[in-house]
Amino acid sequence: MNKKNNIKQPKNSSYWMYGLIISIFIIFTYLGNSDNFGGTKKINISAFEKYLNASEVSKITIINKTLAEVTLTENALLNEVHKDVSKSNFLGQRNTYGPHYSFEVGDLELFQRRLEDAESKGILFNYEFKTVESKWLDVLIGFLPLIILIGVWIFFMKRMSGGGAGGGSQIFSIGKSKAKLFDEKSDIKTTFKDVAGLEGAKEEVKEIVDFLKNPTKYTKLGGKIPKGALLVGLPGTGKTLLAKAVAGEAKVPFFSLSGSDFVEMFVGVGASRVRDMFEQGKKNAPCIIFVDEIDAVGRHRGAGLGGGNDEREQTLNQLLVEMDGFETNEGVILIAATNRPDVLDPALLRPGRFDRQVVVPNPDIVGREKILKVHMKRVPLAPDVNARTIARGTPGFSGADLANIVNEAALLAARKNKKNVSMIEFEEAKDKVMMGSERRSMVMTEDEKEKTAYHEAGHALVMLNAKGHEPLHKVTIIPRGRALGVTMWLPERDKLAHTYNELNAQLASLFGGRIAEELIYGKDNITTGAGNDIQQATNLAKRMVKEFGFSDKLGPLRYESNQEEVFLGHSVSQQTNISDETARIIDSEVKALVKKGEATAKKIINAKLKDLHIIAKGLLEFETLTATEIKDLLKGKKIVKEDENKGSEANNTEDKKTDNTIKNKPIGSVPLTIKNTS
């Protein structure tokens, strides 16, 4: 690419215009004031006495007891003698208010006696004494309210403009694009090396990078580069990072903005900002325009209460026009990101606008390992840290989730005053992200602890024995998040689909806690702890019947309406109606699946009642058990657990306080909300 990128810099601030207007206003106001016509004419005291005796003086002001200012009467100003002090200024105003003359008083007592003699002769005039510290101070004080008013006006005009592009004249730039320009030479440091775990997505966009570097390579063969690329993926998968890497690799200007930046309270502003955005892009071509969360303005038209005149739709229409108006050699490429491709307007996705949809999925085990290594570069690691092991235990995690684990591990190590981060901190961080934060300060009675232990032991026992269930990972009776206990399982590998047997096994494990409580404490003493389990089981059974076709009576038909459309017009038009008879069959089939899962759980626990007691006893003793430790207990082996809070004085202090001061106190009205984390 031989073409030099002439990036348009923002224009200099034009606030000097405001200053010029204010200055002119002050000058006109000051000079137009009748009290300020260029000063008074100096005279001697003899001339003053002459005017006084002729009854031409209306007022005398003695300033600081040294200077006298004389104001003449209106009749006296008509005399030819006083024409110099009564002439008009450049605004056409006559000096009728004065003062007109000034002179030094001299002896103040003698001057006062002269005034008293004139009064005794019947000459009418007024005189007063005045103290003036600074003339300019008076001027400043006089104009201070005006200056404050103008300053407040400028401030509010700047705020109302929304800080749009265009420098200081922001009141006129509300329709300007709010895209932020990143200079490829200084601002963009991200490359494909910084994007780990997205090999497939990177291959899709490398062609765009190659075109921006060597456009003639494609144009001379008649090829057309994709005009736009849409990055689709779940939140946290790295869509924005990938777009920055494209700009960093191509070494071109990069405009970044959000879809919500087009939305404004004023009608027509969105369309105006779209036009300005593409104009800026053409001036700085070749370049990349990145629009994050484009579903804010790119949703289906005609799907709202505003109809065709909706402001959002006008913005979308302008976006469609601008994208379709690109020439092949312009070198402006639009990259957008969204996690809701289903709500985008079809016209936006057609070839010629967004030619490609690049799927940015959650990383697989290899990708997770690479992502972890990227984030671990900034963290001092202990020799026992194995990124592969952590990646194996985090299926379904996004890049943002993995970054959070590394950060949480670093914080935990800092809390323990360690110099590096070990595998223990990474395991604790993983549990914290998956199961929630520990709430060791929560008070539970021994009876509640025992019920919680049997509840979680029931979940674990069914998971270990239900055919087709994913492997058990960890069980704890330490309150985490909103749950009083958690039983967690992890798949051995990344799961892409589930079988009928696997889903039935999940249903059974969800009822393991409730069945364990019933068998140990009786039906009348079942707690509310299974509330979340029942909710999960019901939702899973409904999906099996209505979406997955796992019902012989209903067959492989979808009975679930589309719940993804959240805006009114479109969701109303896609409602799926079913008959009352079909609804009764659905309810019957859902109930049958749930009852089958409950029966399976009861059968397993009745057959393994001795194992249930062993697991529950182990949980009461150690509070947290891994799958390996549970298997060892069932085999009759003794397990030894190290103090996980060693090195953390804060935790040790809090635990001692709990044991010594609040042990065996009732938990109060907190409901038992134990859940099985899936």
Catalytic machinery residues? 456
Residues in CB range of 321: below 8 A, 6 or more apart: none
CA torsion angle 61 65 67 68 (round to 10): 30
Distance between CA atoms of 535 and 117, rounded to whole angstroms? 108
**What DSSP designation does 511 have?**
T
3-state DSSP call for residue 195? coil
Q: Within 13 A of 89's CA, how many CA atoms are on the CB side?
A: 17
For residue 244, give the nearest of 210, 289, 207 by alpha carbon: 289
Q: Residues with Cβ < 8 Å from 486, sequence gap 6 or more?
A: 435, 436, 456, 474, 475, 476, 480, 674, 675, 676, 677
For residue 262, give the H/E element and its range. Answer: none
Residue 517 buriedness (CB in 10 A; 0-12 / 13-18 / 19+): buried
DSSP string, 26-71: HHHHHHHSTT-SS--EE--HHHHHHHHHTT-EEEEEEETTTEEEEE
**CA torsion through residues 649, 650, 652, 656, sign:** positive
The answer to whether the beta carbons of residues 101 and 70 sit under 8 Å apart is: yes
Is-cis flag, bond preceding 666, omega within 30? Answer: no
Cross-strand pairs, 103 = 68
Q: Which of 489, 507, 517 is nearest to 672 (CA)?
A: 517
Q: Any idea what DSSP says for residue 11?
A: P
Reported as half-sphere exposure (CB side, CA atoms, 13 A), residue 273 has a value of: 32
Structure tokens of 650?
A: 């804060």
326, 325, 344, 335: which is closest to 179 by C-alpha? 335
Residues 6+ apart with CB under 8 A from 49: 114
Instruction: Using DSSP, state whether 423 is helix, strand or coil.
Output: helix
Q: Whole-angstrom Cα distance, residue 289 to residue 280?
A: 10
> Cα(560)–Cα(574) distance, rounded to whole angstroms?
11
Residue 47 phi/psi, 5° resolution? -65, -35
CA distance 181 to 169: 19
Helix, strand and coil percent figures for the chain, each rounded to 5: 50, 10, 40
DSSP class of 623: S
- Report which residue type is found at 115: L
Q: What is the DSSP secondary-structure string of 321-369? A: HHHHT--GGG-EEEEEEES-GGGB-HHHHSTTTS-EEEE-----HHHHH
Helix, coil or strand: residue 102: strand
Task: Return the SS3 of 169.
Answer: coil
Contact at 8 Å (CB) between 210 and 203?
no
